[in-house]
Amino acid sequence: MQSTIVSYFVYQLTYNPVTKKGDALVLGLMGLWEVIPAIGFSLFSGHFVDLLEKKGLILKCIIGYLLLTVFFMSLAWPGAHTVISRHYIIWLIYAGIFVGGALRAFLSPASFALMGMILPRKLYANATTWSSTAWQSGFVIGPLLGGFLIAASGFHGSLISVGAIELISLFAIITIPVQAILKKEKEPILKSLGEGLRFVFSTQLILAALSLDMFAVLFGGAVALLPVFSNEILKTGEVGFGWMRAAPGIGSIAMLMLLSFMPLKKKPGIKLLLSIAGFGITTILFGLCGNIADTTILGTVFGCNISWAFLLAFFMLLLGGMFDAVSVVIRSTVLQLYTPDNMRGRVAAVNTMFISSSNELGAMESGITARWMGTVPAVVFGGCMTLAVVGFTYLAAPMMRTLKLTPPKEKA
């Protein structure tokens, strides 16, 4: 929800009422300022996550996010524009995003490690599906609420709601019992980091799953350009932006609920490759929606202009979310099953570097290519590159074709 509100806020700060256009590059730079700490701090966060108690670390991260929301609220306050220029407000937002990236570098591996500690191995696959469903629910509801609240109460009022929801997450994590620290012996940080990296790069299944998802998201980051599509191409306004931002999550939830009752037991590796390929194809088709000549308004719903181009774009984003859900479940299950308990923090930190940061690198790539070749060609190019990554992975990682999502035998 906060990501949706802040990205639209920054885009509006660059909006020129004469040309009726904003600067798409600022959306890409937002991704850059988050990916720098997400990667940089992830080099060290896994080491500390393995040494520290996970629940306490997560609590500190959520408190950090609450303080960050207060910071964004102060920048979105209408009176702030009379004191600080738009140029400096944008750079202060970049600074806040940098801090958020640093917090995520610790929150993501801590959450991954905590989940592995409170669940038996035989439930990892099903638990990963439900966990992803919960996350995707927020991914759907957040952008929708963000779009509606921007239109109803402005940026400042909508960010107040973000803070209230973060308080709920703070109270939720308090109910989880304190967990034991499995890695008690201290060792040089560089040696600890090296062990985590060596494990990931020497385990073909984990490396292939991480690399495939990272490059797919890197090149298929069309979501970063949704403000451009909603304002300039499809002309749907804030509410339409919220619906399109939520579409991938709606598709993900639908697929995840299906997978909860129909687990991926047969040929999960092949299904992973096919799902990423499907994600690339829907990205291409979404980009081509921007070239549809007929943008006749069919009607207006909650202030959102509905056209055939908008409906097709929404459907492609929905399908893309369904394909992405399959890859998320398989990748997360592979990480939980094949990672030793005493290395969960470090492996999850590497996962953050690969996966979480790829969203921001993808946003940066989309912003730069949109500035260079135009918004629609940039999205189509990203989808084509995703298909190329799938083909390369199929040839380079043969173990992916025989992947099984069953717990490996424990050593005596």
Residue range of the domain that includes 210: 2-176+188-402
Confidence of residue 69 (pLDDT cuts 50, 70, 90): very high
User: In this predicted structure, what is the pLDDT of residue 58?
Assistant: 92
Domain count within the chain: 1
φ/ψ region of 302 (left if φ > 0, alpha if ψ in -120 to 50, else beta) reads: left
User: In this predicted structure, what is the pLDDT of residue 406?
Assistant: 65
8-state DSSP, 299: E
Most confident of 174-188, 282-296, 365-379: 365-379
Higher pLDDT, 292 or 378: 378
How many beta carbons lie within 10 A of that of residue 190, not counting itself?
11
The answer to the question of residue 87 being in a domain is yes
Per residue in 188-244, pLDDT (tens digit) is: 666 766 777 788 877 777 888 888 877 777 776 677 778 787 777 777 777 777 788
The answer to the question of residue 8 being in a domain is yes
The answer to the question of residue 344 being in a domain is yes
The answer to the question of residue 410 being in a domain is no
The answer to the question of residue 412 being in a domain is no
Check whether 17 has a pLDDT greater than 80. no
Check whether 411 has a pLDDT greater than 70. no
Mean pLDDT, rounded, for 326-333: 82
Q: Are 318 and 282 in contact (CB under 8 A)?
A: no
The answer to the question of residue 266 being in a domain is yes
The answer to the question of residue 181 being in a domain is no
Per residue in 96-138, pLDDT (tens digit) is: 999 998 898 888 888 888 887 888 877 777 787 788 778 777 7
φ/ψ region of 200 (left if φ > 0, alpha if ψ in -120 to 50, else beta) reads: alpha
Helices 2-13 and 237-261 cross at an angle (nearest 10°) of 150
Looking up residue 231, the CATH number of its domain turns out to be: 1.20.1250.20
End-to-end CA distance of the chain: 47
Q: How far apart are CA 11 and CA 294, in angstroms?
A: 26
The answer to the question of residue 409 being in a domain is no
